[in-house]
Amino acid sequence: MNTSLVPPLHGGPDSTSARRARRSPLIWIAGAVSLIVIAVVLLLAVGTGEASSSPAESTRDMAGNAVVLEDPIADPQTLARMDVVEDAGERFTVPSVGLDVPLGGLDMVDGEITPPGFTSAYTVRNLGLPDDPSAGTTYVVMHSMPAPGVAPGNYLIDVADGHAAVLAGAQVVVGEQVYEVDSSYSVDKSELSTQSVLWADHPGRLVIITCQQLPSGERSVQNTVIEAHLVAS
């Protein structure tokens, strides 16, 4: 489920992002699940993790299915330091694919990013310059899931063809900011850390990351990346 990244972060000369950039953090983006429980009777094994009924390790996807994280965060202190905002009243929308979900926020902690839910998109608040979108890159992460699960990232990917479902020129709305998609591509999870262009900070840039699911339902091995530029706010 986890993806290791080592992005060279960059921010303004006096920004918190710039100070943290010097640490070259290792990032983990969660993008799959081990088990989906449907109507409490059907279990679909997707990964190698063990099932768990712990409330701290489970949640619901967009179809109401109960989800068990394959690699849950067990350390309460780490969870607390993530400073997750599930819903601040903002939305993340991609009209061309019918996606309209709450926009939450989270902090990267000890080089780890783990979206806590399966019904929202999340801005990474201490990566890039999300507080000043016109001056730098905004990173948004979200889960996708193997069928029959449905998470926000599923709207953005074409599982059968193995690429993004969002085309160049499509509109993406992140809170009050409006972007236009420039490109999309898939990157092997083991190589995502080497994509220096991906982790560069550019004015008015949006980077969306989710997992590219496999038609077989097996564990995802690639991330889909969608890049866009700011057109209005």
CA distances from 155 to 9, 91, 101, 117 (A): 28, 15, 11, 16
* Alpha helix positions (H), the chain: 16-21, 76-82, 152-156
What is the full per-residue pLDDT of the chain (233 aa) written as tens digits?
A: 333 233 322 233 333 333 333 333 344 454 444 333 322 222 222 222 222 333 344 588 999 988 876 665 556 566 666 677 777 789 999 999 999 999 999 887 776 777 888 999 999 998 899 999 999 999 999 999 999 999 999 999 999 999 999 999 999 999 999 999 999 999 998 887 788 888 899 999 999 999 999 999 888 899 999 999 999 87
Q: Which one-letter DSSP state was computed for residue 21?
A: H
**Number of domains composing the chain:** 1
What CATH number is given to the structural domain containing 121?
A: 2.40.260.10
> Most distant CA pair in the chain: distance in Å?
54
| Structural domain of 50 | 4-232
Collect all residues with Cβ–Cβ distance below 8 Å to 13 and sequence separation of at least 6. none
Per-residue exposure over 103-126, b if at least 16 CB sit within 10 Å of its own CB, e if not: bbbbebbebbbbbbbbbbbbbbbb
